[in-house]
Amino acid sequence: MDGLAAGPGCGEAPVLRERGQREVFCGLTGIIWLHRKIQDAFFLVVGSRTCAHLLQSAAGVMIFAEPRFATAIIDERDLAGMSDANDELDRVVTRLIERRPDIRMLFLVGSCPSEVIKLDLSRAAQRLSKRFSPAVRVLNYSGSGIETTFTQGEDACLAALVPEMPAEPGSARSLLVVGALAEVVEDQFLRLFAALGVGPVRFLPSRRAAELPAVGPGTRFLLAQPFLAETARLLEGRGAQRLAAPFPLGAEGTTAWLRAAAREWGVDGAKFDAVVAPGQARARAALAQRAELLAGKSIFFFPDSQLEIPLARFLSRECGMVLTEVGTPYLHRQHLAEELAMLPAGITLSEGQHVDRQLDRCRAARPDITVCGLGLANPLEAEGLTTKWAIELVFTPIQGFEQAGDLAELFARPLVRRARLMV
């Protein structure tokens, strides 16, 4: 999980490492988007009332159809003896699977309490998998706050899927796009790859857990999200090769990301340019309007999703924004090498968090816009700062050419609002 283990790469910018109160969600939060993405999977958190409350609060406007996630709340009796807790878990899972015959894959998601009491969820998953196979596969991963920060929950979930992916027979070449994307974005990319003659293209996670893509030495993969360190490591362990690229945010990022695949497939330059030209043109046109508003404005990032560095790159290079501090919960130098190389000099990168000190720095910098979590946004607005909720950047489709304008709009809107309001 620790990005610092990665070797030195390019873009060796100085980093302010901080330790203190973190104002970031834990990895359980990923369930909110993952359960919608993988449509036949159920996420069962084994945790406390706090974990259940976190999921409910993060889901915001309650998604009130019976959702495909729930919490098995550990109580006093479970804490008394371990064998008891395992029996209880089996009972809860059995009841759940009876209620939801549509479920093909069940994730047991570890939490801080389950980890502290050393409840072995991988053993539980094996045991339950045996019992419910072949109807339901049971996997496990940790979304705990002591092991994972926000989007790392997705990394842990996808990493749990990698060993389940079937082996690709032979060394036939295929492209795997790794990281949850909105379906509309997946379809756009599929059309572009098809036009480029890059394929076959598969996605991890797949829309159905029962249809995981195959992987093998012929697999080339592109990370669609910057927070997938462990998933990438395991894919490499299965012979797949990562195509190094910046992330597909903005016209420039999307072009470079697509180009990494096109190169690997030997697509010639003229063809590549012809295929991406219409998307690029639309993205640039959509950006032009918003860039006018954003150009010259300063921005400060509190750490949240690990998307901060690609976002900062996009906002500085394509929207002309001025970067002050770019905070990120973890900095994976290797996966972000291309991004770091594109950042302007003289910015402050910070990793980890001491929220009170960071608030002091933010107040001193008085940025035109501050990207932060929901716990900080209104208090900062009340102090006269303009904010953008970071979490929206995770829930909204922002990747690819067609979303470049929407992405800039997410930052422009708070500024427009502040300019319009007269009371």
Residues of this chain that interact with other proteins (CB under 8 A) are 20-29, 46, 48-50, 52-54, 56-58, 62, 64, 66-67, 69-76, 78-79, 85, 88-89, 91-92, 95-96, 112-113, 115-117, 144-147, 149, 356, 373-379, 381-382
How many residues bind to ligand SF4 according to rule CB under 6 A? 12
- Token couple for 176: 């795997």
Nearer to other proteins, 57 or 241 (CB): 57
Partners of 155 in beta bridges: none
With tokens 């969600």, the residue in question is: 25
Pick out residues in 175-214 that bind ligand SF4 (CB under 6 A).
none
280, 372 contact by CB (below 8 A): no
Query: H or E segment at 245?
Result: none
Could you say whether residue 245 binds ligand SF4 (CB under 6 A)? no
Grouping H, G, I as helix, E, B as strand and the rest as coil, residue 301 is strand
Residue 197 near which of other proteins, ligand SF4, none (CB within 5-8 Å, type-dependent) = none
Residue 92 near which of ligand SF4, other proteins, none (CB within 5-8 Å, type-dependent) = other proteins
In whole angstroms, the minimum distance from the beta carbon of 24 to ligand SF4 comes to 10
Q: Are strands 348-352 and 15-18 parallel, antiparallel or unpaired?
A: parallel
Could you say whether residue 30 binds ligand SF4 (CB under 6 A)? no
Q: Where are the alpha helices (DSSP H) in 100-182?
A: 112-116, 121-132, 152-161
With tokens 């919608």, the residue in question is: 36
In whole angstroms, the minimum distance from the beta carbon of 148 to ligand SF4 comes to 8
Residue 133 near which of ligand SF4, other proteins, none (CB within 5-8 Å, type-dependent) = none
For 197-224, give one letter per residue: b (16+ CB within 10 A) or e: ebeebbbbbbeebeebbbbbebbbbbbb
Could you say whether residue 353 binds ligand SF4 (CB under 6 A)? no
Residue 251 CA to chain centroid, in angstroms?
20
Which among 7-15, 43-51, 214-222, 307-315 is the span making contact with ligand SF4, rule CB under 6 A?
A: 43-51
Q: From the list 22, 38, 111, 267, which residue makes contact with ligand SF4 (rule: CB under 6 A)?
A: 111
Q: CA nearest 51: which of 159, 142, 120?
A: 142
Q: CA nearest 320: which of 224, 391, 412?
A: 412
In whole angstroms, the minimum distance from the beta carbon of 107 to ligand SF4 comes to 14
Partners of 109 in beta bridges: 45, 141
In whole angstroms, the minimum distance from the beta carbon of 277 to other proteins comes to 41
In whole angstroms, the minimum distance from the beta carbon of 326 to other proteins comes to 19
Strand intervals (E) in 127-272: 137-142, 174-178, 201-204, 219-223, 241-242
Binding pattern for the stretch 139-178 against ligand SF4, x by CB under 6 A and - elsewhere: -----xx---------------------------------
Nearer to ligand SF4, 54 or 136 (CB): 54
In whole angstroms, the minimum distance from the beta carbon of 123 to other proteins comes to 16
Which among 44-52, 166-174, 219-227, 285-293 is the span making contact with ligand SF4, rule CB under 6 A?
A: 44-52
Q: CA nearest 303: which of 17, 4, 92, 13?
A: 17
Q: From the list 3, 22, 23, 26, which residue makes contact with ligand SF4 (rule: CB under 6 A)?
A: 26
Could you say whether residue 119 binds ligand SF4 (CB under 6 A)? no
With tokens 């991988």, the residue in question is: 122
DSSP state of 104: S
Q: 10 Å Cβ neighbour count for 415?
A: 17
In the 3-class helix/strand/coil scheme, how is 199-219 assigned residue by residue? CCEEEECCCCHHHCCCECCCE
In whole angstroms, the minimum distance from the beta carbon of 141 to ligand SF4 comes to 12
Residue 147 near which of other proteins, ligand SF4, none (CB within 5-8 Å, type-dependent) = other proteins
Task: Say which amino acid occupies 287.
Answer: L
Residue 237 near which of ligand SF4, other proteins, none (CB within 5-8 Å, type-dependent) = none
Nearer to other proteins, 155 or 318 (CB): 155
Grouping H, G, I as helix, E, B as strand and the rest as coil, residue 140 is strand
Grouping H, G, I as helix, E, B as strand and the rest as coil, residue 12 is coil
Could you say whether residue 46 binds ligand SF4 (CB under 6 A)? no
Could you say whether residue 73 binds ligand SF4 (CB under 6 A)? no
Could you say whether residue 47 binds ligand SF4 (CB under 6 A)? yes
Nearer to ligand SF4, 55 or 342 (CB): 55
d(CA 264, CA 224): 17
Residue 98 near which of other proteins, ligand SF4, none (CB within 5-8 Å, type-dependent) = none
d(CA 279, CA 260): 17
Residue 302 CA to chain centroid, in angstroms?
16
| Contact residues: ligand SF4, CB under 6 A | 26, 28, 47-48, 50-51, 54, 111-113, 144-145
